[in-house]
Amino acid sequence: MATKKASQEGKQALVGRLMPAMRRSSAAGVLHGQAIAKKVGVNSSDLECLDLILLNGPSTAGEIARRTGLTSGAVTGLIDRLERLDLVERMADANDRRKVLVRVREDKIGPIGALFSPLEKSIGAILAGYSREELATLLDFFERSGEVLLARVAELNGGK
């Protein structure tokens, strides 16, 4: 229905509708993260940070600080909170004993993953309705938009 209607519009009109649709969807994504965090009982930046560690593998406090833009003191507190909930654990780095490696306790994060799966299922259902070509278009767009976003973030943060 949306598809049928949209397919009769000109490119310009479609682009005009896409921008706000993206904004809305991304705002809803933020709300989703917040809602999950509330259920889990952590604040949403802690949850994002947990995801980050999961994505990048065991990380030192300094790496986390650099990636998140937090100060070292804030990261100490963040790890303390996640550790108190048994979601991560601190490990000594064998090579450099100043470092503290933070590792996600994958055996303890099952319930968090379960909170994400209804969304993943819904999104999966939407994606299942697309052709291979349509999926390729979506993938292309997300990869390219991710790149320009990161480039712009670097521009905004770096000097200027």
Binding site for DNA (CB under 7 A): 43, 45-46, 60-63, 65, 69-79, 81, 90, 95-100
Quote the least distance from Cβ 92 to a copy of itself, whole Å.
28
By a kind-dependent CB cut-off of 5 to 8 A, residue 98 interacts, out of DNA, a copy of itself, none, with DNA
- Closest by Cα among 11, 103, 122 to 61: 103
CB of 75 to a copy of itself, least distance (A): 15
- For residue 126, give the amino acid letter: I
Per DSSP, helices labelled H in the chain are 2-7, 11-40, 44-56, 61-68, 72-84, 110-128, 132-157
The neighbour count for residue 53, using CB atoms within 10 Å, is: 21
| Partner interacting with residue 81 (select from a copy of itself, DNA, none; CB below 5-8 Å by kind) | DNA
Minimum distance, C-beta of residue 94 to a copy of itself, in the bound complex (Å):
28
CB of 37 vs a copy of itself, minimal distance in Å = 10
From the list a copy of itself, DNA, none, which binds 73 (C-beta under 5 to 8 Å, kind-based)?
DNA
Nearer to DNA, 76 or 109 (CB): 76
d(CA 126, CA 134): 12
Work out the angle between the directed axes of helices 61-68 and 72-84 (0-180°, nearest 10).
110
Strands 88-92 and 100-104 come out as: antiparallel
Question: Of DNA, a copy of itself, none, which one does residue 65 interact with (CB within 5 to 8 Å by kind)?
Answer: DNA
Nearer to DNA, 77 or 146 (CB): 77
